[in-house]
């Protein structure tokens, strides 16, 4: 019996060693096992705790897409800036070469003065605010320890975040009062350049509307000259005439399209400014409003100081003369505050008595 039991033990041991050796030979490569383990970890992270909701699942699943978009936007930022400069310069060139001679030859002196003054004022405002929006730092929280109030710690920067501060994946750092990352500026829109960004959008929209309305009749004449099928022989247009017609059509189509699209964006940002919130805070406040409504409470935006005061704070208007010197003329004045601290629910109804 001892011999039989020892023989059976040795037989089982040999079978086990052989199975282990075969399992080791059929083992997958290390990189495949690492990928499989990472995928299992991602799957388990989706139901890690009770706080997981549809937003967390969506962010986890589409994280590679978000990283790709951030990477592409980061490297193509200068391309978008050059595109804005080239398209704007082309419209300005057509206005000087084609439209200005027609205005000087056909319009009355008062209309000539209006077009020359308004056109150059609008162009100066566009160029100034675009340059300032693209080259002004949006504002960054201090990386060292400070005594200012903080609301959380950034999970990516691992630094304290003041109120209204958010992390930008494209800039790869936290931004004070972040609104969004604008690829057309190759810069974030934050506390110190938000006014420049909105002013650029506003004056660019006004400029596009001005070109679209002023050049409507010229566009119709140029379009009819190129597209109308004549029963009689067509007028003998020279190469210069055809290029002028095409330039007018190009200017009108581009300015009309940009005017509509950028006008809608400008209107939306004007609504947000009136409410005292940024694009990111719009989503946050909407969720908070729904969450508080479930408890029978009303959520109030702590940074909303009434519609007029919101505009005064945003534009930096402290005196009545500032509506002209700081709003209708180029001005590089800084915004209110340092972007680190914010007054909550002020006692005065009118923060700036203007």
- Which residues have a catalytic role annotated? 182
H helices present in 215-323, as ranges:
216-227, 239-275, 279-294, 307-315, 322
Asked if 125 and 199 count as a contact pair (C-beta separation under 8 A), the reply is: yes
* Cα 32 to the center of its chain, rounded Å: 39
Q: What's the CA gap between 271 and 278, in Å, rounded?
A: 10
From the CB of residue 321, how many other CB atoms can be counted at a distance below 10 Å?
10
Asked if 279 and 272 count as a contact pair (C-beta separation under 8 A), the reply is: yes
Smallest Cα–Cα separation from 175: which of 185, 186, 161? 161
Residues with Cβ within 8 Å of 299's Cβ and at least 6 positions away in sequence, in order, are 285, 288, 289, 291, 292, 293
Q: What's the CA gap between 189 and 304, in Å, rounded?
A: 19
* Cα 65 to the center of its chain, rounded Å: 18
Asked if 218 and 99 count as a contact pair (C-beta separation under 8 A), the reply is: yes
Q: What is the 3-state secondary structure (H, E, C) of 42-72?
A: HHHHCCCCCCCCHHHHHHHHCHHHHHHHHHH
């Amino acid at each position: 019996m001892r011999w039989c039991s020892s023989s059976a033990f040795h037989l089982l041991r040999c079978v086990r060693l052989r199975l282990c050796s075969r399992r080791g030979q059929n083992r997958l490569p290390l990189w495949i096992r690492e990928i499989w383990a990472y995928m299992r970890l991602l799957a388990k992270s989706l139901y890690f705790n009770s706080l997981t909701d549809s937003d967390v699942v969506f962010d986890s699943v589409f994280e590679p897409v978000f990283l790709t978009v951030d990477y592409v936007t980061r490297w193509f930022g200068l391309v978008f800036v050059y595109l804005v400069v080239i398209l704007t310069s082309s419209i300005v060139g057509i206005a000087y070469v084609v439209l200005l001679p027609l205005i000087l030859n056909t319009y009355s002196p008062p209309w000539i003065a209006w077009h020359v003054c308004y056109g150059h004022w609008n162009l100066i405002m566009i160029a100034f605010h675009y340059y300032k929006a693209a080259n002004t730092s949006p504002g960054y929280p201090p990386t060292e320890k400070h005594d200012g109030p903080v609301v959380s710690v950034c999970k990516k920067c691992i630094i304290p975040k003041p109120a209204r501060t958010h992390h930008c994946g494209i800039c790869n750092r936290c931004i004070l009062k972040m609104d969004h990352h604008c690829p057309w500026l190759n810069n974030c829109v934050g506390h110190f350049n938000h006014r420049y960004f909105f002013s650029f959008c506003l004056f660019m929209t006004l400029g596009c509307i001005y070109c679209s309305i002023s050049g409507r009749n010229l566009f119709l004449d140029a379009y009819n000259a190129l597209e109308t099928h004549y029963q009689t022989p067509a007028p003998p247009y020279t190469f210069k005439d055809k290029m002028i017609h095409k330039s007018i059509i190009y200017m009108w189509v581009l300015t009309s399209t940009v005017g509509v699209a950028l006008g809608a964006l400008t209107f939306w940002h004007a609504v947000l400014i009136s409410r005292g919130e940024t694009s990111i805070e719009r989503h946050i406040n909407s969720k908070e409003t729904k969450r508080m409504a479930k408890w029978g409470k009303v959520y109030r935006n702590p940074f909303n100081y009434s519609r007029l005061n919101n505009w005064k704070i945003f534009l930096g208007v402290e005196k009545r003369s500032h509506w002209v010197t700081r709003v209708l003329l180029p001005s590089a004045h800084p915004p209110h505050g340092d972007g680190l601290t914010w007054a909550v629910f002020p006692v005065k109804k009118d923060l700036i008595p203007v």
